[in-house]
A and B are shown apart, each in its own frame.
Chain A
Amino acid sequence: MPKVTITRQSRPILLAGFGGLLVLMAFAGFDAARAIRQTQTRNEQIQADFLARNRQLNEIRSDVYLAGTLVRDFLLEPEPAKAEGYRKELNGLHREMDAEMGAYAHLLVTTEKAPFSSLQQRLADFWTSLDPVFGWSGEERRQRGYAFARDEVLPRRAAMLGLADQIAATNERQLRAGSDRVAELFAQVRTRLAVTLVLTLGLGCLLALFSTRRILALEGEAGSQFREVTEARGELKELSARLVEAQENERRSIARELHDEVGQSLSAVLVGLSNLSAEIAEPARSGLQPRIESVRKLAEGSVAAVRNIALLLRPSMLDDLGLVPALQWQARETSRRTGLLVNVATEHVSDQLSDEYKTCVYRVVQEAVHNASQHAAACQIRVTVHQEAERLLVSVQDDGRGFEPKIERGLGLLGMEERITRLGGSLRIDSEPGKGTLLLVDLPLIDMQKPNGHA
């Protein structure tokens, strides 16, 4: 069946779908986390770089100020000892600043290179311009010092500070560019996240669509299979009921045929035989009498046999006289055959019971009585049929061996149940080993409008 193949295929498809979805989601999450961490590190790096350069630059700048101030103090100092102290301080500062400049050179970014090398040049020039000044005597310093400070030191200092500001500005630009870069990275992450989200959603929707369709298809399939099974079961039930009905009709017609045709003909044979023998003249008759008698016996036996067979197939009383006379006949027959005491008590049982009910009750009682007499070794059987407004209650009780109804359930019981269920009734069996058996049938009477439907 193709349906089954499709059903088997959906497992790998569903597995792949759900697996893919999970992998995609995990990848998207991991990727986003990694990108964010990267961006964050980058951002921190940029900040740190900026701060480090800024600090270094500020130190250089303050040292430039300090150098200006120290040169001025040196120039204006009349005492040679103190001037020598300033000079030493300046030399220390020179070394210090060289170190700072060297350190900054390491942090340098491309855009800063031009102003920085200018600053370096200026600083070197500054120190070089100081070299002759250090050799000046106190008098020389007093005479030329002020002019030197005004003409050399201050412009040089201003130029250097301007260069430092230029570098700081570049630095700030650098920082802004870094921030922009980070923002750009964030935007990239966002885009990537959005793409994976859309992808996941799309795949999820596809999967949901596929699963929904599959589930609906399966549900439909299961539903139709259930309907098929239910229909098949109904058909089977109907068929078995029809079989039982057909069997009953067949039995009825064979019994009638035997009874009315074969039996009648045999009776006619008997009458004819009797007439023939009466017509034979006396001396011959005595000689033929034994032979005539044997033929007569044979025909009589056949009539009886035909009648018995017909009654066994289906007692004509059921159709001719009704349920109660048929049950009473059955009881008498069983008593006659087995010596069992079979008692039939009926109450308000209508003569107008439809054929289905008559046949059902008759056959159920027949089976129960048969079981009681053949298997249960009962001595007494009591059959009651009681009709109420809307139901027919039948009970068959025996004092036999009893049995375990839950375990032993022969074909006979199944047949009874089948007949009873078909009429919407219920069968209860109360029995246990050694306690006899009580069989209770409750048949709802729904169709009393058409009595003797098949008669």
Chain B
Amino acid sequence: MSDIRILLADDHTVMRSGLRLLLERQAGFKVVAEASDGRETVDLMESAKPDVVVLDVAMPNLNGIDAARQITQHHPAVAVVILSMHSDEGYVLRALKAGARGYLLKDAPESDLVNAVRAVHEGKAWFSPAISRMLVDDYIRQLRQHGVEDSYELLTTREREILQLLAEGKSNKDVANILKLSLYTVETHRGNMLQKLNLHGTAELILYAVRKGVIS
């Protein structure tokens, strides 16, 4: 198996070199390029050909979120991990909407970064444990306060299967292949699910899956 090619973007030099050290200690990880802002990152995509891009959110010129959007738009195969100081759901949702698959808090980056890079490279979604915990806690609190029955119970077994695969980062087409269904059927299931759960788009579906503990 070839090395995972990583592009590392952070405007903080000390941080960047620290992260580089951290990643390169791992076997099979290779930092192919470093960038100090979003614009540079986008420009380096062609020459560096990374598998995974680790993006800091707060960067000059072009921030991490907007850079992630551009990268996933032009290079759908590339997985993006967002490094952020913000733990709020709003930021996580925005990162997911921009196409990022991993969301990592800068509180404790050293322990989780390796796991995150590995997970997103395998096509899975990955969130800092603190975030997963928070999302789930909030959801449980909300459920308790509202006394509403668990919306997950509304989903059929087929829909739950599709939810998990989609949340792990699979495309509709992948899901259709795995479950041996037509693309049209998968799309219909997905639409029904969004309607039942009152969600809008894949990003919210992923967050929902995290809250429900379908993925971690």
Please determine whether A264 and B88 come into contact, CB atoms closer than 8 angstroms. Answer: no
Please determine whether A264 and B85 come into contact, CB atoms closer than 8 angstroms. Answer: yes
Binary per-residue interface labels of chain A (327-352) against chain B in the complex, 1 for a CB within 8 Å, 0 otherwise: 01100100110000100000000000
A residues 114-144 in Cβ contact with B at 8 Å: none
B residues 104-121 in Cβ contact with A at 8 Å: 106-111
Interface size bracket, A side = 20 to 34
A-B CB contacts (within 8 Å), total count: 90
Q: Which residues of B contact A270 (CB under 8 A)?
A: 107-110
Distance A328 CA – B92 CA, assembled complex (angstroms): 13
Q: Nearest CB to that of B85 among chain A residues?
A: A263
Known: A263-B85, A300-B108. A271 touches B145 (CB 8 A): no
Question: Which residue of the partner chain, among A259, A271, A316, A326, contacts B19 with CB atoms under 8 Å?
Answer: A271
Interface status of B89 (Cβ within 8 A of chain A):
yes
Please determine whether A264 and B12 come into contact, CB atoms closer than 8 angstroms. Answer: yes
Q: Which residues of A contact B89 (CB under 8 A)?
A: 325, 328-329, 332
Interface status of B28 (Cβ within 8 A of chain A):
no
Distance A325 CA – B14 CA, assembled complex (angstroms): 32
Distance A304 CA – B85 CA, assembled complex (angstroms): 9
B residues 62-92 in Cβ contact with A at 8 Å: 85-91
Known: A272-B14, A307-B87, A317-B91. A335 touches B141 (CB 8 A): yes
Q: Which residues of A contact B42 (CB under 8 A)?
A: none
Question: Which residue of the partner chain, among B18, B25, B107, B141, contacts A268 with CB atoms under 8 Å?
Answer: B18
Interface status of B35 (Cβ within 8 A of chain A):
no
A residues 260-310 in Cβ contact with B at 8 Å: 260, 263-265, 267-268, 270-275, 278, 300, 303-304, 307
Distance A303 CA – B18 CA, assembled complex (angstroms): 17
Q: How far is the CB of A167 from chain B (nearest CB, A)?
A: 135
Interface status of B138 (Cβ within 8 A of chain A):
yes
Q: How far is the CB of A315 from chain B (nearest CB, A)?
A: 8
Q: How far is the CB of B63 from chain A (nearest CB, A)?
A: 9
Known: A317-B91, A321-B94, A325-B90. A268 touches B12 (CB 8 A): yes
Please determine whether B18 and A271 come into contact, CB atoms closer than 8 angstroms. Answer: yes
Q: Which residues of A contact B21 (CB under 8 A)?
A: 271, 275
Cross-chain pairs A/B with CB under 8 angstroms, 26 sampled: A259-B85, A264-B106, A267-B12, A267-B107, A267-B109, A268-B14, A270-B107, A270-B108, A271-B15, A271-B110, A274-B18, A275-B18, A275-B21, A275-B110, A278-B22, A278-B25, A303-B106, A303-B107, A317-B86, A317-B90, A325-B90, A329-B88, A329-B90, A335-B138, A336-B138, A341-B146
- Residues of A participating in the B interface, judged by any CB pair closer than 8 Å: 259-260, 263-265, 267-268, 270-275, 278, 300, 303-304, 307, 316-317, 320-321, 325-326, 328-329, 332, 335-336, 341
